[in-house]
Amino acid sequence: MAHFAKLDQNNNVLEVHVVHNNELLDQNGVEQEWKGAWFLQNWSGGYPYWKQTSYNGNFRKNYAGIGYTYDPQRDAFIPPKPYP
């Protein structure tokens, strides 16, 4: 199963959704993140901001959680700071 973070316009994580791996496969059987994001965009009625996350930390540094922020320069999910 693949996991995707729903982001707001400021790259804050609002929710995390699970998508079956079959939804990510291209015609050659290779997983493509854009296909999962496209699936979720259609499923959600057009919501456009989705980023794949990995619960075992294979990419994007951390598994996304509510309150995390996606940093596009680092291509990473950043956890919230415990104190402002």
Mean pLDDT of the chain: 95
The answer to pTM > 0.95 is: no
Span 8-67, pLDDT tens digits: 999 999 999 999 999 999 999 999 999 999 999 999 999 999 999 998 878 899 999 999
Give the closest residue to 19 by CA, choosing from 49, 61, 50, 62: 50
